[in-house]
């Protein structure tokens, strides 16, 4: 009954392709209804305020990130936040058995090595909500 967080990266001339493919395979085997797109949204530091009102985003008003793959959402999956440019889902969640599977296409959402986004926006709050 816990939370698994799958952190992928943008399409970048194959640099992250194998890791993203493995995360997509895991999500498919779990029946999560989430996969990373082979794309790159917001190709620079960005901040989104397109946060969906969900329990996993309680208290989150803005998220900073830098060049992300979007997440394809189907089945019981639900968006948690969209990209700043509005082209796709930045982070999503799906129930898997008694737990939750969360997928994002950018590690900057969940690390403090992100040009200040973790401290300047609600990235830390999001991580707290995911791990709570």
The pLDDT profile of the chain, 132 residues, written as one tens digit per residue, is 899 999 999 887 677 888 999 999 999 999 999 999 999 888 888 999 999 999 999 999 999 998 899 999 999 999 999 999 999 999 999 999 999 999 999 998 888 766 777 788 999 999 999 987
| Predicted pLDDT at 40 | 87
| Predicted pLDDT at 24 | 96
**Dihedral over alpha carbons 118, 26, 2, 112 (to 10 degrees):** -10
| Predicted pLDDT at 111 | 83
| Predicted pLDDT at 13 | 61
| Predicted pLDDT at 91 | 98
3-state secondary structure of 58: coil
What is the phi-psi region of residue 131: left when phi exceeds 0, alpha when psi lies from -120 to 50, beta otherwise? alpha
Residue 39 and residue 10 in contact, taking contact as beta carbons nearer than 8 Å: yes
In whole angstroms, what is the distance from residue 105 CA to residue 65 CA? Answer: 10
Residue 119 and residue 47 in contact, taking contact as beta carbons nearer than 8 Å: no
């Amino acid at each position: 009954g816990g939370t698994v967080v799958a952190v992928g990266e943008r399409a970048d001339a194959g640099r992250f392709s194998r890791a993203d493919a493995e995360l997509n395979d895991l999500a498919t085997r779990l029946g999560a209804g989430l996969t990373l797109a082979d794309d790159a949204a917001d190709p620079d530091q960005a901040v989104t305020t397109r946060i969906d009102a969900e329990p996993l985003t309680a208290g989150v008003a803005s998220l900073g990130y830098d060049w992300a793959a979007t997440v394809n959402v189907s089945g019981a999956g639900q968006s948690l936040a969209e990209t700043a440019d509005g082209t796709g889902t930045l982070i999503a969640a799906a129930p898997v058995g008694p737990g939750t599977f969360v997928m994002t296409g950018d590690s900057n959402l969940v690390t403090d090595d992100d040009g200040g986004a973790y401290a300047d926006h609600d990235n830390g709050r999001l991580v707290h909500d995911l791990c709570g």
